[in-house]
Amino acid sequence: MDKKLITPRMMLIITAIIAAAFMRLVPHWPNFTPVAAIALFSGTYISRKAFAFVIPLAAMLISDLFLGFHSTMIAVYAAFGITVLIGFALRNRVKFGNVALASVASSVIFFLITNFGSWLSGMMPYPMNFSGLMMAYTAGIPFFNNGLMGDLLYSTVFFGGFYLVGLKFPSLVKA
């Protein structure tokens, strides 16, 4: 295995991601989880792009083994893949405002994609027309509110924590 991959910085990032993934397994408000923050953080700080996708999606898959699989998983995973891409755009631009904007964008994208996927799957009793799609989006608003709050909180924890670790141990967070 490439020795450059196994660095204290990478171990810190992976440990934080795995710990956050386990947060999905404890009781929480619907959609108030660290998953989008994991994807955003991975895209921003994991230098190998393939690993930036694989690590958070693998963490999701492992937690889904315990939580169960559902018909909209493709939409959920696609939304988090897009969030990793947003993290790529955030690289070298990590500032409070940029992280907050990226977190909000991730929440909106997740809301749009997963509610569309839910509507498209036919698992909800909405008609398969524009009106039904709007009904699905309307029904998802409370979950969006929780998701947005969770994304902002956990992004603050991840990015703020990484910043604070960098102040105490600069060599640990350097790429």
Model confidence at 172: pLDDT above 80: no
CA atoms within 13 A on the CB side of 25: 13
The domain in which residue 71 lies consists of 8-163
* pLDDT, position 175: 62
Report the range of poorest mean pLDDT among 25-39, 70-84, 158-172: 25-39
Please provide the average confidence, as pLDDT, over all residues in the chain. 87
Mean pLDDT over 104-116 rounds to 94
pLDDT at 157 over 50: yes
Q: What three-state secondary structure class fits 75?
A: helix
pLDDT surpasses 80 at 113 = yes
Give the pLDDT score at 1: 43
Which candidate, 64, 36, 27, places its Cα nearest to that of 149?
Answer: 36
Instruction: Kindly state whether residue 48 falls inside one of the protein's structural domains.
Output: yes
- In percent, the amount of the chain with pLDDT more than 70 equals 96
Residue 158 lies in a domain: yes
pLDDT in tens, 73-100: 899 999 999 999 999 999 999 999 999 9
Whole-number Cα distances in Å, 79 to 12, 98, 129: 25, 19, 22
This prediction has a pTM of: 0.86
Query: Per-residue pLDDT for 36 more than 50?
Result: yes
In a domain, 175, yes or no: no
Question: Would you say the C-alpha torsion 165, 90, 103, 81 has a positive or negative sign?
Answer: negative
Question: Would you say residue 173 lies in a domain?
Answer: no
**Is 140 domain-assigned?**
yes
Specify if 174 maps to a domain. Answer: no
- Asked if residue 54 is part of any domain, the answer here is yes
The number of folded domains in the chain is 1
The encoded tokens of residue 13 equal 């990032």
Decide if 79 is inside a domain.
yes
